[in-house]
Structure 1
Amino acid sequence: IKAGVLDSVMFVRTAAFFALGQFSEFLQPTICKFAPQILPVLFDYLNQLVLELKVGEPDSKHMDRMFYALETFCENLDEDIVPYLPTLMDRLFGVMEPQNSNQMREMALSAIAAVSAAAKENLMPYFPRIMTVLQGCLVKDCPKEMYSQRIQAIDTLAALCRELGKDNIIPLADDTMNFCLMMLEDGPDDPEYRRSIYNLMSSLSSVVNESMASVFPKFIDRIMESVIFSEDMVPNVSDNADDDLALVDAPDIEIDLEHTDDEDDQDAYPVENDYIVEKEEAILSLKEFATHTGAAFAPYLQSAFENVYKMIDHPQGDVRMACIDSICSFITALHKLDDAAGLKRACEIAIPKFAHIMRTDDQVAVVLRMLDVLYDVFKYVPAINSQEHAELIFGCIRDIFTNKMACQFNEESGGGDDECSEESENDEMLFENAANLFPMFGLTLQPELFSLYFGRLYHFYIQRLAKVKERDLPEQRAYIYGALADCCKALKGCCATYFDALRPIFIAGSRDSDAKARQNSYFALGEIVFHSEEKSFESYPTILQALSEAIVRESVPAAMDNICGAVARLIVTNPDSVPLGQVLPVWLNHLPLKDDTVENDVIQKAFRVLYLKARPSIEAHLEQILAITIEASYKRQMPDVETTESAVALIKEIRANYPELFSKVSNMNPEVFNYVQAL
């Protein structure tokens, strides 16, 4: 590829740039390791382009492919892009000079949006100059040849609003919103233009939050019109759609799931066009408003739900996915607003429909999106209201495992149930997403009910684990161990029923050749002990031996952190079964956590248990425990407020009971000293 980019033949260079863009898009994160080799080549081409533009030479025909490669590569670099920003931005500003063509300036603006996704607030030194360029484009009236550039400028400003941080964008919020309102009212009657304005408005909602309340009445009806508008065509919804959708006074809701297919209506819609893209953006804007504006959006939740639901059978997969995203965000918003009645009614409508989509939609991407967003909903929201709904979702997960869904029988997925054939990548993604959804589904149920479902399904995990071991697929092994570990949390005390079956599987996983698989297995060992409680006590020696062997050979920080987390769970569950004299010195020497700082939650719980129940055994280690706790607190590595408060309480108790030891630790570092003095 590098040789192709440097080739003297333009067509070869064009193909190489496209290949590089594809590499950047689909070979993450490995491709980012080549930044020192790739970016200088791209910068040289940008510099050559700027020089050519200065002497009036025409735009190179392959520049769109070069910018595609640049954008896809840069947006995935994250903070690694920072050392390259001075050169990169200098080149892009050169392309954006006023004398250059609108097309070149538009591509440079798009590149800045991509760069902001990686650089975030590190882009602020260049922000004033970027805004100067944008302000020249963000005008009410412009020549027709600048329309496309103006739309890109709006999209770039939307990207900056999302990426540069609330404090940096707030000063521009009022003027930006006024521009949006003016252009919706008086701007071009053009769907692509409205799409860009909706994008900018939704990005502003992540900045101003509930302050959107004052402007919602000025534009929300226009967005709703875009949601339901179909360019002289009416979407096919059932005659009783309004009755189905009522979120108020709807105690007896029945939805006909047998007659919601859109097969007969495919020809009623055009192929994807600007109006459909506008519709998709309008739907996603409602999602953003529900996510970011809290109570300000509450008056519009019902109408948003109703209108988006009407589009959920749209022939375009992207629109269906946008509807899925938005309805799930509405459900989450109702939960956050403590609207229990509204949440119940919304779920009564949505859950059966979601199950129907998973079962009947023939696009793998749509089903994957459904599995993905339901993961987030089930993780935080009690969205399953009945045994009937539980059966619907469980049936979908089970049937994905057995290749019975519509999307598993089309050419795209490589479906069918010939076990001798290699599974397609799409099938594997379906299995993975379904496997990860199952434990989140369990969180919405009582543990006893989930245990019944787990008993019917966990052998699929075991069979699949054996299969991917045989085929040496480390990523698949990792997600199976991780999903089984997450199931332990949903099972709670019922985990004991499966302890004897799962423990040897997790111990075997602790010796896996793949670091992520080992990491998830260590986590699983801790979780199964923590939730099985007394059932696990007789297995402490075996599990501790496995962890002891692992801690000697483990070299990956995230995996080591999960060994420490597993030991902490054993201590929290039954400190009397842990030989503290042998375990504590080794365990503490691998703290504080290096990578997976979420485990600080259970580390702090273990410290608390030891301090309260085994203080004589740990007094020799109190200095180390205090230093670990202070460092994690000072560096803000606690996963939540509760863990932070527990850590601060422990620091204060040690300060009160062991003042000399506390003074010794706190004086080791001036910054730490100032931190603990301020507690």
Structure 2
Amino acid sequence: MEEILAKLLVANSKVIQQGTKELKEAFKKPEAIPALCEVIVSSPNSQIRQSAAVLLRRKLGKKRQWSKLNVETRNRIKQGMLQALVSEQEKLVKNAIAQFIGIIGKHEFPDNTWPEVLQFIHTLCSSDHIFDRELGMYTLSIMTEISQGSYINHADAFAILFTNILNTLPELNSNLAYYTVVTMNNLVSVIAGHQQMVNVYHNLLPRILEIINAFSQEDEKRACELFEILEELIEYAVAVVVPHVRLIVDMCLRIGGDSSMPTTVQIKAISVVGWLIRSKGKVIQKNKLVEPIINVLIQLMAQQPDDDVNEEYFLGDPDQFTSITIATQTLDLIALHIPSEKVVPYLLTRVEPAIQGNDIYAQKAAYLSLAVLAEGCSERIRHKYLEPFLKCVCNAIHNPNAVVRNAAFFALGQFAEHLQPEISQYAAELLPVLFEYLGQVYAQMEKDKTESASLDRLFYALETFCENLDEGLMPYLPTLMDRLFVALDPTGWSMQLKRIALSTLGSAASAVKEGLLPYFQKIIEILNVYINADPNSEIHQLQSYAIEALAVIAQFIGVDNFKPLAAESLQFGLKVLDDTDDPDVRKSVYALFAALAIVMKEEISPVLPKVVEQMISSIQSSEGIVTHYEEEEKEDLDVYAELSDDDEEEEEDLDVASSSSADSTHCRYSVENSYNEEKEQACLALREICINTGNSFLPYIEKSFEEIFKLINYPQEDIRKASVEALLQFCIALHKMNSTETKQALYKALQMFIPKCAELIRTDEERSVVMCCLDAYALLLDEVKSGVLVGEGHREAIMNCVIDVLTLKTMCQDTDLDVNHENADEEGEAEQDELLLESAGDVIPKFAAAIAPDDFMLYFPNILQLMTQRTKKQNSISQRSFAYGTLAECMKSLDVYVEKFNQHLLHLWLTGAKDAADEVRNNAIFGLGEMILHGKDRIFPFYQDILQSLSAAVAKESHAGTLDNICGALAKMIIVNSSGIPLEQVFPVFIQRLPLREDFQENEAVIKCFFGLYRQGNSVLRDHLSDVIKIVVQIYQRKQFPNDETQNLLVEFIKTVNRDFSEEFGNAVSSLGPEVTESLQNLFAS
């Protein structure tokens, strides 16, 4: 064996080839492994000893290969290698043996079949010689990479070991320090339930930070690896991190903001800050770290990028991060996870000077900052800053420098996406500016025959604005279509321009819908050119974009308008599906099928077998999965010097036979975006087909449900959400089919879906996924009602999840300060966290409506307490409004049990009626009216107090919606107990405030109140009959009735009054004009 290995070490390729051949032959015999072990301990040549150890590590690196050896051979190898490690004097050989021992330890330690190895490592780590300690810890770092749970039984020994080593380090940037932290990182995932280990990690964390800091200055690769212990601790044992948050953030900001540091290290440092913001935003606030973090992020965002023209602001793939993109994304996390009042005012103190200065990169950073605030701080911006923000960005659109201009376009696009509906009011100012600039870009492109640096950002702003304007886009549609037709000319030279124009066409179609009809024929002609382009032509690459545009047009142009093209489009889609392997094209065809289902309804049924089968195939597919092996970096696992290239190639060659197994090779997996998007679209398309094809989809529901259910824990959040939405629709469809068979299928589906949503609500880290699941509960309860709760444990699953969200106990919430909810409120919530709470609150009234009042009464005390906390003045307007609104909607389901809570509720409503915020007063008074209506005689004792409060409120109220709800509350008092109030004084004031201005839902109570008094023959109503006639006729004329029941009651009342008091009715109506008179004549004639 030694002679064979010697041939692998010479410089002659023919000799190496001969040696490789002989080695492969030798490995076919069982004695090859013991022979290599013998070489390690007996060869005088250190290179040969090292090669033997490396070959053993590679050959036995996979557990199945190790297990093929008989027990006696394995025991001899284990004993011999420990002795060899002690006896070996050469560093490189010693390292190679240590690696081999580490690999064996991986295989043996989980089954506790090699107890001697830990004692051996402990002896090494206790040695006076630094190299022994390094070797011991290195070996342990290899062993602890897998089966970490098996090591927790030795926590006491590890606690002493880590403490002794880290507190006696000769140098912070030593190999010993590195391997110790790597070993500690390997064990992080199992320490959470072990208090002693948590304490050790907590005590050693400052020392670990010193080590990370030392490596950051000298060893880029190792520094990045060491930062991972912070990320792991945040994820698995955050209690270790919380007391040291200031220390961690200070270090990360110092490293992240230091331009002399390697970029990868800067990125790692800032990404740790991002992890902390996501998981412990309240601790960040408490330590007053928000402002220092913002300072460093803006500094990084203001750097000059490598490519001014094609600069990326956001990148999803960590391998492509730059210090600028990580800063932008971290600022986005601040906006999403920190209360906006702690972010926006301070950020503006940094943005304003930058905008006024002359540094174009500082200006770019300022506009990017405004852009990334738009989603997380949308409510505050919409209510306090929208106009100045827009003015500032519009000025920047005219900046002569593309760097500034592009950032401004990006900001405008973000505003259009997240600051609705208020931003649409500025369409008249913004769209002409965009059209004008687009004209200039076209002219410049035609002149220079180069694509503008601002093209993508400009169209992003234009597209998002159009998409969210809806019919408000109509006045600008002629100009927009002129611009788009120029861009879509198939003979044009710019593929980039065509691509983004096709996308913008879809946005315009979804906004104006049938308003696109004048351009419909020309659009279809142009799309056909792209869709049917020769596969060898340049424009064929745009086929998927053209099909997606066609799908959007089919969906929104109107069923009757697209119907003549439906059959042809369907056959085209089927043909493309047969001919393509491109996931982007398949995705676009799925979107087309979904749109055609809307147009064709059950007429699409004949092709469903093929269509559904293909979509299920995409859902099941593992196409696009990419495996990333660490060893592909061509860096061997040796501690110090690596083998020569020739040796390493030999290693690779020798292991070809077993390379399919990854049980000893570090790897991670990713899925190419196109395949993810295909899966997502398949889910959404199946959902849409289910909605529109009725019973025709029944044969496919079970299989679709089963396969999509498997995606519900998929790594990508968009696919998890699409899965939940599709499964929800399948349940609703089964309910609507309403046969014995489908009822059984529904209950089976719900037994899977309800618990799975509960699991996601508690454990998913993405708030958007949790909100999707809560919305699914709300929609299910709304549609299926009590049927949702038939399954065992479903009632508890749903309500316990709602309570967990409201008490901040789910994985995606910051749970630091939830011990005392009142203190938590003082910190405030990020706007996105408030949206999550509101999603949970939306479930409550629908849950209440699905169960009996005597059951709901048992849940209500807890709900009342939680909602009362959110009505306190330190909470945001939206939280106070949400709490009052949720309680108000519970009154109907509480019914007579209102009596048990009337004192508490009345105090709440009357306090809310005095709130400074319009929407809070509005909801509080609506709740008061609902309590009156459903509490009936239980509320009579409080009528005087209620009337006094309403009288005080109506005298000074200016908000239309709140005035309407005051009228509604008075109407409900009259409905329930007209004799309990002084109608002579109240009724004249009441009708002075009618008809309603804004909240026409309350017209239901108003009409019932009038009709009730009329049927009683009430003299007060008779005295004011002329005014009442005018009010109800105007309600009818303006169609301000909230539902069919109210409309029928209104018509009956009008006809009754006209019959009984025809002269007075005629006189009252005549004062309202001929149009009203004619409308009533038509009503009476019908």
User: Scaled by the length of structure 2, what TM-score is found?
Assistant: 0.56
- Any conservation in 1 of the 2:466–2:508 contact (CA below 8 Å)? yes
Q: AA paired with 2:576?
A: M
RMSD: 2.8
Distance 2:526 2:624 in 1: 38
**CA offsets 1:402-453 (integer angstroms, 9 cap, x no match):** 222122259xx99998847553344333222222222222222222122111
The CA distance in 2 between the partners of 1:371 and 1:495, in whole Å, is: 26
Q: Distance in 2 between matches of 1:72 and 1:641?
A: 37
Q: Deviations over 1:305-352 (max 9, x none)?
A: 222212212222111111111111122222222244333332222111
Cα displacement string for residues 609-631 of structure 1 (whole angstroms, at most 9, x for unaligned residues): 22322454323444444444344
Partner of 2:622: 230
**Please, which of 591, 605, 609 is the counterpart of residue 1008 of structure 2?**
605
SS at match of 1:270: strand
Separation in 2, partners of 1:128, 1:170: 13
Aligned equivalent of 1:320: 720
CA contact (8 A) 1:269 1:315 kept: no
Relative to structure 1, is the Cα distance of residues 386 and 661 closer, same or farther in structure 2, using a 3 angstrom cutoff? farther
CA distance in 2, matches of 1:269, 1:283: 22
d(CA) in 2 for partners of 1:65 and 1:642? 50
Give the aligned residue type for 1:295: N
Counterpart among 270, 286, 290 of residue 686 in structure 2: 286
The 1:182–1:593 alpha-carbon spacing in structure 2 relative to 1, beyond 3 Å, is: farther
Aligned to 1:676: 1083
How far the C-alpha of 1:527 sits from its partner, in A, is 0.9
Opposite residue 130 of structure 1, the aligned amino acid is I
Supply the distance in 2 between the matched residues of 1:608 and 1:530 (Cα, whole angstroms): 16
Counterpart Cα distance in 1 of 2:1061 and 2:477: 50
Distance in 1 between residues matched to 2:415 and 2:438, nearest whole Å: 20
Indicate the residue corresponding to 1:257 in structure 2. none
Q: Are residues 449 and 95 of structure 1, via their aligned partners in 2, closer, same or farther at CA, if it must alter by over 3 Å?
A: same
1:1-20 alignment runs, 5 A limit: 1-20=393-412
Separation in 1, partners of 2:464, 2:482 = 19
Equivalent position of 1:653 in the other structure:
1056
* CA–CA distance in structure 1, aligned partners of residues 791 and 949 of structure 2: 41
Instruction: After superposing the two structures, state which structure 1 stretch, 356-365 or 169-178, moved more.
Output: 169-178
Contact 1:629 1:651 in 2 (8 A): yes
Which residue in 2 is equivalent to 1:95?
487
C-alpha separation between the residues in 2 aligned to 1:586 and 1:99? Answer: 70
Question: Retained in 1: the 8 A contact 2:987–2:1020?
Answer: no
Amino acid at match of 1:126: Y
Q: Percent identity?
A: 37
Instruction: Write the distance in 2 (CA, Å) between the matches of 1:579 and 1:409.
Output: 52
Q: How does 1:209-608 map to 2 (within 5 A)?
A: 209-231=601-623, 270-339=670-739, 340-382=743-785, 383-386=788-791, 388-408=793-813, 419=824, 421-466=827-872, 469-471=873-875, 473-608=876-1011
Query: In the superposition, relative to structure 1, how do residues 268 and 346 fare at CA in structure 2: closer, same or farther (>3 Å)?
Result: farther
Query: Tell me, which stretches of 5 or more residues in structure 2 are unaligned?
Result: 1-392, 626-665
- The amino acid that maps onto 2:906 is R
Question: Larger Cα Rg: Structure 1 or Structure 2?
Answer: 2
The answer as to whether partners of 1:110 and 1:156 remain within 8 angstroms in 2 is yes
Range with greater deviation from structure 2 (626-635 or 641-650):
626-635
Q: How big is the shift at 1:59? A: 2.0
Report the residue type matching 1:323 in the other structure: S
- Kept after mapping to 1: 8 A contact 2:534/2:540: no
In structure 2, the CA distance between the partners of 1:510 and 1:655, relative to structure 1 (3 Å rule), is same
Separation in 2 of the partners of 1:556 and 1:117?
Answer: 33
Distance in 1 between the 2:577 and 2:407 partners?
40
**Residue range with higher mean Cα deviation, 473-482 or 491-500:** 491-500
Aligned residues: 642
Cα offsets for 1:89-144 (capped at 9, x unmatched):
22222222333223212212222222233333333333333333223323275445
Distance 1:317 1:615 in 2: 61
Change (3 A) 1:163 1:581: farther
Give SS of 1:511's match: coil
CA distance in 1, matches of 2:479, 2:833: 43
Aligned residue number for residue 106 of structure 1: 499
Shift of 1:520: 1.1
- Distance (Å, rounded) in 1 between the aligned partners of 2:431 and 2:915: 36
Partner Cα distance (1:457, 1:560) in 2: 28
Pair 510,40 (structure 1): closer, same or farther in 2 beyond 3 Å? same
What is the letter of the counterpart of residue 275 of structure 1? Y
Q: Give 1:659's aligned amino acid.
A: S
Deviation at 1:6, TM superposition (A): 0.6
Instruction: Say yes or no: does 1:206 pair with 2:598.
Output: yes
Residue type at the aligned position of 1:641: D
- Supply the distance in 1 between the matched residues of 2:667 and 2:774 (Cα, whole angstroms): 28
1:36 corresponds to:
428
1:198-234 CA distance string (max 9 Å, x none): 112212323333433344234222222222222288x
The structure-2 alpha-carbon separation of the partners of 1:94 and 1:596, relative to structure 1 and needing over 3 Å to count, comes to: farther
Distance 1:164 1:571, change over 3 A: farther
| 1:521 CA drift (Å) | 1.2
Change (3 A) 1:59 1:645: same
Partner of 2:812, secondary structure, is helix
Contact kept? 2:533, 2:539, Cα under 8 Å: no
Which of 526, 532, 543 aligns to 1:133? It is 526
**Which whole-Å deviations, capped at 9, do the CAs of 1:346-390 have from their partners, x for residues lacking one?**
222211121111112222221121112322222232211256221
Contact (CA 8 Å) 2:530, 2:540: kept in 1 or not? no
Match of 1:115 among 494, 500, 508: 508
In structure 1, stretches of 5+ residues that fail to align are 234-265
